[in-house]
Amino acid sequence: MDVGYVELAIGSILISNFVLAKFLGFCPFFGVTRKMSDSIGMGLAVVFVMTLASAATTLVYRNLLLPTTPQHTNLLGLLGLPVPEGGYVLILKTISYILVIAVLVQFVEMVLRKSVPALYRALGIYLPLITTNCAVFGVALLNTEAWRDPANGLPVHLAAFNGFCGGLGFMLAMLLMSSIRERLAEYRVPKSLQGLPIAFISAGLMALAFMGFTKLFGITG
Amino acid sequence: MTDLIITYAGASAIALGTLAVLFGVILAVADRFFQVHVDPRQARIEEALPRANCGSCGFGGCAAYAEALAKGRAAGNLCTPGGPGVAKKIAAIMGIEVAVFEPKVAVVKCQGSYENTHNRFRYIGQPDCRAATATQYGQTACPYGCLSLGTCARACPFDAMVMDDASGLPRVLEDRCTACGTCAAVCPKNIIEILPKERYVHVLCRNLDPARLTRQACKVGCIACHQCEKVCPVEGSAIHVQGNLAVVDMETCISCGQCVKVCPVNCIGDFRRVRQDAGKRTADQKEVA
């Protein structure tokens, strides 16, 4: 299936928004959206990590995990290591992806701590939580989904773009959520619903609204 | 079968191991480039601070104050919630002299309770005094008075302010108040002031209107009758009527309480009894909300 930039963009930002349609990445979504400034910073960090993580994991997938095909050779096979029939996909996919993402997040933490210490302190614990964030791991896995391209997964540039758009969708959802929560904080909310419960209800209503984007321009998923 | 599994497992281990070593090297190199030098004293100071992030020191939170202290850019006695204890700890860590600390407390300068005043209209909107003030100065008859919506009580980081349901006025729990100034900053009418604890006498009114209007608005509003001025034993009077409102001069007032007795509307408050009783209470008898 030939996937283009536009389909990927609309698909990842609106139709299959990572937070509101796929329900991934709730931890920073509810944890950092109390203030809009925090959510913008977190959103930018996630965009950065998702783009790089998609690119890096696709490289790993195509060159280290897939069996040798006419399009790409398995580097492990080149080094002389034995490669099973279906490649190392089933064995090493999860753990190698997590490794790559963890390293990337560490790198982002170092850069932020040096260049924007205020943002680093504001994000606090949520920055290392991007590592275990299912949204980042999710986009890495989804780039290699069968429906996108049966044998190879997305090519690197498209995978990076998909990660970028996924991150943008994440940031969009967080911006919307934080603008709602900033106003909710001042209104009469019943005591039992104050804080997280009303945030969940709002997120549910937002997800309902985003369902209106299904099959936008004829694009599925 | 098993030897196949072992070979593939071994190959995976080698592959992952190399990848991990490669990434480790990259991170170590990056760490050298992105190193941030942190003064060890800064961490110790940050642990000594109350961590309330109230901002009364003038910095954007305890971490910012600790950083400024470690760089030698701030005085050691700026932490009001911390009090003399924290000032001593900071001086010990930084090796500097401790400055004198004057205990302060928040004073609510309004007695416009539900009994003493009335509303001009019914306010339906955000239950926040700032929002109510934006609506024609608020619903109370006195445009300078307390709106009883509780913004100050919610803003207090130490739970030292409670709204009294009977009177509608905020009550300062002086045992818990650290004089951080958050309530004073948040009150849209500037009714709350942070004043020294040693000064017991304060005029509990902020009404600047002439007596005719004040009497219509509130039973206990200051009418600028000058009785307090006449009776003050201090040379030149420690209490002055400025703009239809009596104001106590903190520098010269001796807290004798004479003005409190002669005020015809009882708008001057004497906190001597309350604070001395509080001083006599033991730790387990601390005032609760």
Q: For position B171, which CATH number holds? A: 3.30.70.20
Res. B59: pLDDT tops 80: no
B205 and B193 housed in the same domain: no
**CA A216, CA A2: separation in Å to the nearest integer?**
18
Range of the domain at A40: 10-218
B76 and B108 housed in the same domain: no
Inspect the interface and report whether the beta carbons of B20 and A99 lie closer than 8 Å.
yes
In this structure, how many other beta carbons lie within 10 angstroms of the beta carbon of residue A192? 8
- What is the model's pLDDT at position A133? 80
From A90, which residue of chain B is nearest by alpha-carbon distance? B12
* B260 vs B34, more confident: B260
> pLDDT tens across B109-156, in order?
999 999 999 999 999 888 889 999 998 888 999 999 999 999 999 889
B165 and B129 housed in the same domain: yes
Cβ–Cβ under 8 Å, residues B76 and B63: no
- What is the model's pLDDT at position A2? 60
What integer is the mean pLDDT of B206-221? 92
* Lowest mean pLDDT segment, chosen from A9-23, A57-71, A203-217, B151-165: A57-71
Q: What percent of chain A has pLDDT over 70?
A: 94
Contacts A–B by Cβ distance under 8 A: 55
Cβ–Cβ under 8 Å, residues B274 and B105: no
Pick the residue of A81, A93, A100, A112 with the most B CBs within 10 A to test the interface with B by mutation. A81
**CA A26, CA A174: separation in Å to the nearest integer?**
10
Q: Is residue A1 part of a domain?
A: no
The DSSP symbol for A201 reads H
Res. A165: pLDDT tops 90: yes
Task: Give, in degrees to the nearest 5, the angle at Cα B223 between B220 and B226.
Answer: 120
B120 and B189 housed in the same domain: yes
Q: Is residue B237 part of a domain?
A: yes
Inspect the interface and report whether the beta carbons of B36 and A117 lie closer than 8 Å.
yes
Global pTM reads 0.66
Q: Is residue B153 part of a domain?
A: yes
CATH number for position B52: 1.10.15.40
Q: Is residue A5 part of a domain?
A: no
Cα distance from A183 to chain B (closest Cα, Å)? 10
Q: Is residue A2 part of a domain?
A: no
**CA A122, CA B77: separation in Å to the nearest integer?**
26
Q: Is residue B3 part of a domain?
A: no
Q: What percent of chain B has pLDDT over 90?
A: 40
B136 and B175 housed in the same domain: yes
Q: Count of H helices and E strands in chain A?
A: 9, 0
Looking at every residue in chain B, the average pLDDT score rounds to 86
- What is the model's pLDDT at position B97? 73
The helix/strand/coil state of A50 is: helix
Into how many domains does chain A fold? 1
Q: Is residue A136 part of a domain?
A: yes
**CA A96, CA A56: separation in Å to the nearest integer?**
10
Residues 6+ apart with CB under 8 A from B49: B62, B65, B66, B79, B82, B86
B125 and B140 housed in the same domain: yes
Range of the domain at B63: 40-94
B191 and B112 housed in the same domain: yes
Q: Is residue B17 part of a domain?
A: no
One-letter-per-residue 3-state SS of B24-52: HHHHHHHHHHCCCCCCHHHHHHHHHCCCC
Cα distance from B270 to chain A (closest Cα, Å)? 35
Res. A112: pLDDT tops 70: yes
Into how many domains does chain B fold? 3
- What is the model's pLDDT at position B287? 55
B122 and B75 housed in the same domain: no
